[in-house]
Amino acid sequence: MTLAKFDQSDDSVFVIIGSGAGGGTLGNELAQKGVKVVMLEAGARFNIPDFVNDEWPSFSQLAWTDARTTSGSWRVAKDFPNLPSWIVKAVGGTSIHWAGASLRFGEWEFKAKTTYGDIDGANLLDWPITLDEMVPYYANAENRMGVNGTNGIPHLPGNNNFKVMQAGAQKLGYKTVFTGNMAINSQPRDGRGSCEQIGFCFQGCKSGAKWSTLYTEIPKGEATGNLEVRPLSQVIHIEHNAAGKVTGVVYADAKGVMQRQKARGVAVAGNSLESPRLLLNSASGKYPDGLANSSGQVGRNYMRHTTGSVYASFEKPVHMYRGTTMAGIIRDESVNNPKRGFVGGYEMETISLGLPFAAAFFDPGAWGRSFTSKLDDYANTAGMWIIGEDMPQETNRVTLDGKVKDKFGMPVASVHFDDHPNDIAMRNHGFKQGGAVYRAVGATRVAEVPPYPSTHNLGTNRMSANARDGVVNKYGQTHDIKNLFISDGSQFTTGAGVNPTLTIVALAVRQGDNIAGMMSRGEI
């Protein structure tokens, strides 16, 4: 197989910025349809053997550690002021880190405004798409990602951490408790082996059982001869012509030298902090507030899901770190029942951290015996993560930092976030229920752990029916510029109470169909 290599002056190529869940999937889709694609990725390209089963070295290898700044009342701003978010900078993006939980939105979750009504301080909006329209794309995404519990793929076996949660959940009367819909092979499929219960899902799956664009979508796209991936290529600026159409991008190559790639169209998929940063940094005389920002919504409505963890100590060993990190789920709270004191739903999913990360994240900044006694209980600890819908707020936003710049002189993303009262009420409910699950099976101590740096980043270029309310239309095409698209989680109108990646992938597949159609009709 010879890999495609396109000329920088070739203005018939379609440029995709970012190679993660959204960008990597879109790249393969377009390549399969015969579109020439150049995918620019800020990070390096690793292979499965490069991954390390060791939390901090893996973090240094894969994570986006370039500076970012923070403000707002969320605790992350205090504990991790320069690490608002935990995402990957590498070919494959955060689909290398992700745990694999793949859930569809509920029907009502596409209609948050209609369902929840007006909520003080929340900038709610209905999606311009319905579940019905998404169903075929969800099915496509589940099939390509190999989501268990779909397409006849068996569920994974439950590990110790799951069994503890399951036993507690059953005592409490929860009904929908199972090992999840995971994009992790429970049997060999699609040229990849099955899960060996290695337990380092967050550090890159060394068996390749877990779906990642790095070793699925991207090589498949490359095999068509239509996709060229350029690692260590950070886009700094998107360019446009006098008519306002996008014409190409300027990027820093591996040596830090600025390069220009011409393009017929551009899709931005840098994850929800970097995508608005890039649009804002591309401000010009014609677009003084940044590209595609006539609504003023670029960077706003930043969502990160309402999260928190519950870790419980028991008399006897659990060894939660053995096997899949997100080994199972309780779905009973994933409904909209305002009687609980908040709108929207949440999931409870097992989570585990190795000892090094447990020390850093169990209670950031804490020290002394009350803290270290929790680590002394490590072997006897079980853990779960709460993940629910958070409210979009206009003031939760990504802006360009006024002072701090990266090594290429590009202003870094500054992230402001305050919890909405609905988020707090939901988190407290989740803490209470999670604690009850573990107490039901004899937990001797329950610890409520605050949110980690954001792993789910959503909403900063949101989708809206009306150009006034958001940045992109129902195809992820910007309202303002016909040949500029957003292809990552920043398109989300609202966050829903489920992990986002299945929806990101389904949207990318759908967008691929539409971009190819627009091209063949000569619209872009």
Partner 1 sequence: MTMRKVDARVKVTRRQFLQTSATVAPAATLLAGGATLGSEAAWAQASTLSPHAMATLTLMARDTYPHDQLGDSYYRSAVAHWDDDAAADVAKRQIIADGVVGLDAEANARFGANYIDVASEADRVTILQAVEPGAFFKAVRADLVVSLYNQKKLWPKFGYEGASAQYGGYLHRGFNDIDWLPST
Ligand X SMILES: Cc1cc2nc3c(=O)[nH]c(=O)nc-3n(C[C@H](O)[C@H](O)[C@H](O)COP(=O)(O)OP(=O)(O)OC[C@H]3O[C@@H](n4cnc5c(N)ncnc54)[C@H](O)[C@@H]3O)c2cc1C
DSSP category for residue 411: E
What character string, x for contact with ligand X (CB under 6 A) and - otherwise, covers 227-266?
Answer: -------xx-------------------------------
Q: How many residues bind ligand X (CB under 6 A)?
A: 41
**Residue 101 in the binding site for ligand X (CB under 6 A):** yes
The residue ranges of DSSP E strands in 305-345, in sequence order, are: 306-313, 329-330
DSSP letters, 142-168, are HHHHT-TTSTTPPPPPP-HHHHHHHHH
Pick the closer one to partner 1 by CB: 125 or 359. 359
Among 21, 330, 353, 426, binds ligand X (CB under 6 A): 21
Candidate segments 2-10, 137-145, 189-197, 343-351, binder of partner 1 by CB under 8 A:
189-197
Q: How many residues bind ligand SF4 (CB under 6 A)?
A: 14
In this structure, the number of other CB atoms found within 10 A of the CB of residue 407 comes to 10
Residue 29 and residue 476 in contact, taking contact as beta carbons nearer than 8 Å: no
Among 32, 71, 170, 197, binds ligand SF4 (CB under 6 A): 197
- Of 218, 229, 265, give the one whose Cα is nearest residue 514: 265
Among 195, 312, 358, 359, binds ligand SF4 (CB under 6 A): 195
Residue 485 and residue 279 in contact, taking contact as beta carbons nearer than 8 Å: no
What are the tokens at 90?
């590498």
Among 168, 199, 270, 476, binds ligand X (CB under 6 A): 270
Among 4, 30, 35, 99, binds ligand X (CB under 6 A): 99
Query: CB under 8 Å to 368, separation ≥6 — which residues?
Result: none
Q: How far is the CA of 60 from the CAs of 49, 56, 64, 66, 277, in angstroms?
A: 16, 6, 9, 11, 23
Sign of CA dihedral 184, 446, 340, 77: negative
Q: Which residues of 422-440 are buried (b: 16+ CB within 10 A; e: fewer)?
A: bbebbbebbbebbbbbbbb
Among 201, 235, 312, 496, binds ligand SF4 (CB under 6 A): 201
Among 17, 184, 269, 303, binds ligand SF4 (CB under 6 A): 184
Which residues, 431 to 450, sit near partner 1 by CB under 8 A? 441
Candidate segments 50-58, 81-89, 112-120, 171-179, binder of ligand X by CB under 6 A:
81-89
Pick the closer one to ligand SF4 by CB: 98 or 361. 98
Task: Give the Cα separation of 473 and 467 in Å (integer).
Answer: 8
**Residue 321 in the binding site for partner 1 (CB under 8 A):** yes
Rg of the chain over all Cα atoms, to the nearest angstrom: 22
Which residues, 208 to 227, sit near ligand SF4 by CB under 6 A? 209-210
Task: Give the Cα separation of 244 and 291 in Å (integer).
Answer: 9
Task: Give the Cα separation of 16 and 41 in Å (integer).
Answer: 9
Pick the closer one to partner 1 by CB: 360 or 436. 360
Which residues, 314 to 333, sit near ligand SF4 by CB under 6 A? 323-324
Among 257, 339, 367, 402, binds partner 1 (CB under 8 A): 367
**Residue 317 in the binding site for partner 1 (CB under 8 A):** yes
**Residue 122 in the binding site for ligand SF4 (CB under 6 A):** no
DSSP letters, 208-256, are S-B--GGGTHHHHHHHTT-EEEESS-EEEEEEE-TTS-EEEEEEE-TTS
**Residue 202 in the binding site for ligand X (CB under 6 A):** yes
Pick the closer one to ligand SF4 by CB: 195 or 353. 195
**Residue 181 in the binding site for ligand SF4 (CB under 6 A):** no
**Residue 307 pairs with which residues in a beta bridge?**
387
Among 205, 263, 280, 471, binds ligand SF4 (CB under 6 A): 205
**Residue 352 in the binding site for ligand X (CB under 6 A):** no
The least CB distance from residue 279 to partner 1, in Å, is 34
Candidate segments 87-95, 184-192, 377-385, 477-485, binder of ligand X by CB under 6 A:
87-95
DSSP letters, 46-95, are --GGG--SSHHHHHHHHB--S--EEESSSHHHHH-TT-SB--B-BTTGGG
Residue 273 and residue 412 in contact, taking contact as beta carbons nearer than 8 Å: no
Query: CB under 8 Å to 336, separation ≥6 — which residues?
Result: 108, 115, 116, 343, 344, 345
In this structure, the number of other CB atoms found within 10 A of the CB of residue 91 comes to 28
**Residue 158 in the binding site for partner 1 (CB under 8 A):** yes
**Residue 163 in the binding site for partner 1 (CB under 8 A):** yes
**Residue 326 in the binding site for ligand X (CB under 6 A):** yes
Task: Give the Cα separation of 328 and 181 in Å (integer).
Answer: 8
Instruction: Select the binding partner of residue 54 from ligand X, partner 1, ligand SF4, none (C-beta < 5 to 8 A, by kind).
Output: partner 1
Q: Which residues bind ligand SF4 (CB under 6 A)?
A: 184, 195-201, 205, 207, 209-210, 323-324
Q: Which residues bind ligand X (CB under 6 A)?
A: 17-23, 40-43, 86-90, 93-95, 97-101, 202, 234-235, 269-271, 274, 278, 326, 455-456, 488-489, 499-501, 504
Q: Which residues bind partner 1 (CB under 8 A)?
A: 52-54, 56, 157-160, 163-164, 166-167, 170-171, 195-200, 206-207, 315-319, 321-323, 354-356, 358-360, 365, 367-369, 371-372, 375-376, 378-380, 441
